[in-house]
A = this chain, B = another copy of it.
Amino acid sequence: MKILVVEDDQFHASFLQGVIAEALPEVTETLHVQDGLQGEAAARAGRFEAVVMDLQMARRNGIEAARTIWHERPRTRILFWSNYSDEAYLRGVADIVPAHSAYGYVLKTASRERLKLVLRAVLLEGQVMMDREIQRLRRRSASPRHSLSQSEYAVLLDLALGLQDRLIAERQGLSLRTVQNRLLTLYDKLGVNGEEQALPGLNKRVRALSRAISTRTLNLERLETAQHDLECWLAARPADEKAPPTQGADGAL
């Protein structure tokens, strides 16, 4: 069994390798690389079936790297291992995991024993497994009032990228008014309206993004992958729609 470790912190990497050696004696080869880009290349070249992936790395973050890897080899088992339990990471992972894939999510603060357990469960047995705290967060964010639905989150991402209503509508295949309705519920669920009445004079749109970040509903990594998605979508979009029915500013006067 071959295993790939993608982790940019040397201390965590060496600790992890120690635990792997102890928990998985059936490992014959481990490769350690320092960032997402190298991780993708190594996975491609080495045909690893098991990966331990840090999120939050330079050059390419763990979620994007995992997406690439899964895109090329959907059966790969990936254990995400991170310092933080941001909702943004959970949604990011949930968005890219292929059907029937084995994966897991552990916090770096987990005990050595728990880490060993999860390593075996996910990488060897092919289970799906999450840290306790992650499970708790997941349950909470599936709760009633404050949690965002799939489509609301998608609109939030578009908002965060700075698209205006019209473009969001186009991208999500909704009417303009519906997008605005979504935004309303977003403002509600993110607590913007609540603050607004205490302090009038907020730009709700910006405040929504601000709060999404403060509450870790969004983070830098998620924003990066969303930006990447946007660029792909833009490239694939037929060029006609780029010019809304305003006077043409390209070509003839």
Residues in A224-253 with C-beta less than 8 Å from chain B: 224, 227, 234, 242, 244, 249
Pair B203/A163 contact, Cβ less than 8 Å: yes
Q: Is A41 an interface residue (CB 8 A)?
A: no
Number of interface residues of A (CB under 8 A): 40
Give Cα distance in the complex from A127 to B8, angstroms: 30
Q: Is A46 an interface residue (CB 8 A)?
A: no
Give Cα distance in the complex from A74 to B220, angstroms: 33
Q: Is A12 an interface residue (CB 8 A)?
A: yes
CB distance from A183 to the nearest CB of B (A): 11
Pair A244/B161 contact, Cβ less than 8 Å: no
Kindly identify which residue among B204, B207, B220 contacts A213, using a CB–CB cutoff of 8 Å.
B220
How many copies of this chain does one complex carry? 2
Give Cα distance in the complex from A207 to B203, angstroms: 13
Kindly identify which residue among B160, B207, B219 contacts A220, using a CB–CB cutoff of 8 Å.
B219
Residues of B within 8 A of A227 (CB): 214
Give Cα distance in the complex from A204 to B163, angstroms: 9
CB distance from A230 to the nearest CB of B (A): 9
Give Cα distance in the complex from A216 to B221, angstroms: 12
Q: Is A209 an interface residue (CB 8 A)?
A: yes
Give Cα distance in the complex from A214 to B15, angstroms: 30
12 A-B pairs whose Cβ atoms sit less than 8 Å apart in the complex? A9-B11, A9-B108, A162-B202, A162-B203, A162-B211, A163-B201, A164-B203, A167-B201, A200-B244, A213-B213, A213-B220, A213-B223
Give chain A's interface residues, CB within 8 Å of chain B: 9, 11-12, 15, 83, 108, 159-164, 166-167, 192, 199-211, 213-214, 216, 219-220, 223-224, 227, 234, 242, 244, 249
